[in-house]
Structure 1
Amino acid sequence: MPFPKAIDYHKPGRPEVPNGFGAFYVLISSSYLFSIHFLGSFFGLGSPDVVKGALPLAACVLFGGFLGLLDDWMDLRWRYKALTPLLASLPLVALRQGHPVMATYIFGRIDFRAFGLPGLLLYYAIIIPTIVTVTTNTVNQLGGLNGLETLCPLMVMVALAAVAPEMAVLLLVPMAVLAVLAVLNFTGRVFVGNVGSFSFGITLAAFAIIANREQALLVGILPYIINSSMILLNHFIWRRMPSLSMTPEGLLYSEHRRSLQTLFCYRRPTSERALVLRIVAVFVASSALAIIITYLG
């Protein structure tokens, strides 16, 4: 059965490209994570923390994939799409994943256990769902150009694996699959769809929570947060959305600055690949900064 096709609006002639290849990421990654849990539970292979974290991470990937697939099918309105990641945080909350001690830049190290049941409820019922929802939505908002939806989360995923080497085995296959999809996506052969972007974002958030690397996640996804902030501010204050235009030669440009994409090609015609690589370079910098801060902190 062929994959549904979507129009590549930023290519001359607007060719149709197979869409929804993020489903391969969901199936392969979740199968790998379930295998880790199975081998650890029945044969004692792997560290207890890795085995314990594999199950909720697999559940989150499946949740994210299903919600993204639902969006691909139904084209959910943005207000509903923004809230759907709350459902994907349920495995983390139900299985009490993460360590309820969080290092913050403003308030220092906070131990939520010191506040008793209210503190634990705050961590598991509010903070974890917020991290998952914000991360997933910001990842989902940066797309539309070949390679953006795959290369950017790959950079952050590599950084998270680097700052949590004892848990990095959980990301080995997800990173490998994402790298293959990134090559295919960057060259314009496939789109990953919302099924891909949702599951990528939830993987980042869930792994950071399981490995207790929320600070590294925050630094790594700063470009995502900046992009989403620009889009939302323009939408809610001036009721304007970002858009790209194309020259007869196929170069992209913009007459406004309402997102990272429009910022980098503001009144400067740029090829799609060059524009994508500039944005990816920002993620390389933020991911490297996340690694440096983690090991120097």
Structure 2
Amino acid sequence: MNMDWRSPRSLVFKKAKDYHKPGNPEVPNGLGVIYVLGSSAYLFLLYFFDVNSDEALTLAACILFGGFMGLFDDWVDLRWRYKALTPLIASLPLIAMRKGDTVMATYLFGKVDFGIYFYLIIAPLIVTVTTNTINQLGGLNGLETVCPSIVMAGLMVVSQKRVLLIVPLAILLLLAYFNYRGKLFVGNVGSFSVGITLASFTILSNIEQTLVIAISPYIINSLLILGNILLFRRRAELILKGNRLTSNGIRSLQTLIAYKRELTEHQIVLICSLIVGLTTFLAVMVWTAT
């Protein structure tokens, strides 16, 4: 079918069903592309005006790579076994440009210089884990935007390179406003690019320890999901009862919160946001104390 690009209908974003609302209304999906384009344009401007130019260029490349990987997933709906590995491609700019300090603070061994292995193993691992965990905590209006906004704000507090995230955070907050109200979905293009933003900025700022603490709820959520799938072949699922959601099993962070109780979608999102806010605050406090 030929598409007339002059037609207004051809410019409308593809819609997806909102399965957690009565009647399953259709909502424009893939609006995360706004984050990708706006953030990249801002970072290229920083590069042009020589403001943290090397880091700005690297972060822009990572966001573009991540956005494309997410967009590709939105197009073909990759299986998780393949989707989990796509962030490795988005870490290529970090590896190629060798950005980030190879000396990293660890909980058990203090500061360790990983040398070349930081770029070959540690950086790709951070990008992959962060992106996948951010992507997995979603499905409810606001989860994919509000919670990452909190983490991003926390990272800005502890980093001297916070100028890199001023516009990305502003765009993400704008999307969060409409996403929380159920007016749009950011899609995988949004969650992938946001996750890679957090991971890449962390590496560029050498604040990996802060990121680990801040996204610990995301990690717990992913462990619950993967544990149930691998051990029991059970998938996380929220049950819609009227205009409220409940769960009869603990298979993710959302189902843990809604286990044997009926909550609205907004209540679950607010509780998740509060949890992420607390861990992000803790991460900032730990950074301040060290």
TM exceeds 0.5? yes
Deviation (angstroms), 1:250: 1.2
Distance 2:147 2:108 in 1: 27
Work out the CA distance in 1 between the residues paired with 2:238 and 2:113. Answer: 46
- 2:250 maps to 257
Pair 1:34 & 2:44 matched = yes
Q: Distance in 2 between matches of 1:123 and 1:66?
A: 25
Specify the alignment match of 1:72 in structure 2. Answer: 74
Contact 2:247 2:259 in 1 (8 A): yes
Match for residue 203 of structure 1? 197
| Counterpart residue type for residue 185 of structure 1 | N
Aligned partners of 1:153, 1:64: CA distance in 2, in Å? Answer: 15
Structure 1 runs, 4 residues or longer, greater than 3 Å off: none
The one of 53, 56, 59 equivalent to 2:58 is 56
1:132 aligns with 2:142: no
Alpha-carbon distance in structure 1 between the residues aligned to 2:110 and 2:101: 16
Match of 2:141 in 1: 146
Q: Secondary structure at the match of 1:148?
A: coil
Shift of 1:111: 1.9
Counterparts of residues 88-167 of structure 1 (less than 5 Å): 88-112=90-114, 120-164=115-159, 166-167=160-161
Name the CA distance, whole Å, in 2 between partners of 1:111 and 1:124.
Answer: 11
Residues in 2 aligned to 1:90 and 1:197: alpha-carbon distance in whole angstroms:
18
Counterpart in the other structure of 1:4: 14
1:242 is the counterpart of 2:236: yes
- Equivalence for 2:3: none
Distance 1:22 1:111 in 2: 36
The residue matched to 2:105 in structure 1 has which SS? strand
AA aligned opposite 2:285: I
1:81 paired residue number: 83
Matched, 1:190 2:184: yes
Partner of 2:171: 177
2:280 aligned with 1:287: yes
Shift of 1:121: 2.5
Residue identity (%): 56
Aligned-partner Cα distance in 1 for 2:151–2:189: 18
- The one-letter code matched in structure 2 to 1:243 is E
TM-score normalized by the length of structure 1: 0.93
Q: Measure the CA separation in 1 of the matches of 2:201 and 2:221.
A: 22
RMSD of aligned alpha carbons: 0.6
**In 1: Cα distance, 2:117 partner to 2:224 partner:** 29
Structure 2: tracts of 5 or more residues without a match:
1-10
Indicate if the aligned counterparts of 2:102 and 2:116 stay in contact, CA closer than 8 A: no
Residues 111-166 of structure 1 show CA distances to partners (whole Å, capped at 9, x for unaligned) of 23xxxxxxx231110000000000000000010000000001101000000010x2
